Structure 1
């Protein structure tokens, strides 16, 4: 029960339900589940180009020559990338930060996945960066940091998703229409 309680948003009661459910399964089902969990670390990798969790590297999106390489969408994690991708509105490439700045958790800017981003900005003809970060305190703090950090690239237009997304929501929980409209009506960040 303690191990299941370590999962995000899983409390003691839910962990208990998981354990009792598993106890009712036959050995084949349990073995299959154990194998799938083991394969997570063995078969899943991080894309060397965008930083997303993927089956192979470079990932399917980074390998797609039809993507608009002049557009780059910066997201906190792979789940947010999938949420943006599912709207069908964005046809550029992505960069996954891996984390957001969170002083309460001891996560500072140095823990963001910025080295590959700097390499991309130096070597790719990027014209616009969309900061697609959650509209909560950590997302706003990270966006402000990135805006300052990106000032050394004055030729690149920096935009944010349009508002309409409620403050405090995680992108992965936003409905596709709302997120689609936020992408369409993104705005440039001015000082």
Structure 2
């Protein structure tokens, strides 16, 4: 196997990159500025030395604690629980949330061998018991695993009856047509309907 084939094979192991996309990227890198390739290789080679999980919330950061945990202007009575570090960025860029975060590191998935002990529930419960949270927002994905994880959090939260527990709404996207909605999305939309 030659160098280009090795590169294409390595690129195709990235999430969301199939063999055709990997080949396009590989051929693009051959034609691009060599300095860009060197900077890209350096960034890839050093990312794990520079970026690490925040010891407080679990979000990826280059400083400890992360910019969200250390920002005194954030609402410390709100805690948003997400599955992955990239979910923090997604919610943060929406501009509609100004509380703190907690990253679980995944979702409960018995078929994949991921149980509660594999996720950061212990640190979540420690933060809740030591903090002054008024509301915990469950922002797990609207999947079977995300729903199972949300139910598990609800079970853990029974010892904190004074804290409001909420879940992100899910349903029809803005501009979507009913005829294209799948049954599960439509069912969630009906269950989560609001007074008009």
Specify the TM-score bucket, using the shorter chain as the normaliser.
Answer: 0.7 to 0.9
Task: Give every structure 1 segment of 4 or more consecutive aligned residues whose post-TM-superposition deviation is greater than 6 Å.
Answer: none
User: Could you report, residue by residue, the CA deviation over 1:54-105 in whole angstroms, capped at 9, with x for unpaired residues?
Assistant: 1211111111111111110001112211221122221111101111112232
Q: Secondary structure at the match of 1:133?
A: coil
Quote the offset at 1:122 in angstroms.
1.7
Question: Which residue, 147, 151, 158 being the options, matches 2:165?
Answer: 158
Q: Give 1 or 2 for the bigger CA radius of gyration.
A: 2
C-alpha separation between the residues in 1 aligned to 2:124 and 2:172? 26
Q: 1:142 aligns with which of 140, 149, 161?
A: 149
**Corresponding position of 1:14:** 21
Q: Which has the higher contact order (CA 8 A, sep 6+)?
A: 1
Among candidates 101, 105, 127, match of residue 120 of structure 1: 127
1:101 is the counterpart of 2:108: yes
TM-score normalised over the length of structure 2: 0.79
Deviation at 1:110, TM superposition (A): 1.1
Offset at residue 142 of structure 1 (A): 0.8
Secondary structure, aligned partner of 1:117: helix
The equivalent of 1:88 in structure 2 is 95
Aligned-residue RMSD, C-alpha: 2.0
Task: State whether residues 46 and 56 of structure 1, in contact with CA within 8 Å, keep that contact through their aligned partners in structure 2.
Answer: no
Q: CA deviation at 1:112?
A: 1.0
Q: Which 5+ residue runs of structure 2 have no aligned equivalent?
A: 1-7, 174-191
Partner of 1:181: none
Work out the CA distance in 2 between the residues paired with 1:54 and 1:14.
29
- Please, which runs of 5 or more residues in structure 1 have no aligned partner? 167-184
Conservation of the 8 A alpha-carbon contact between 1:51 and 1:96: yes
Counterpart CA distance in 2 for 1:131 and 1:44 is: 25
3-state SS in 2 of match to 1:126? coil
- 2:38 corresponds to: 31
Residue 94 of structure 2 aligns to a residue in which SS?
coil
- The equivalences for 1:52-71 within 5 A come to 52-71=59-78
TM-score (norm 1): 0.81
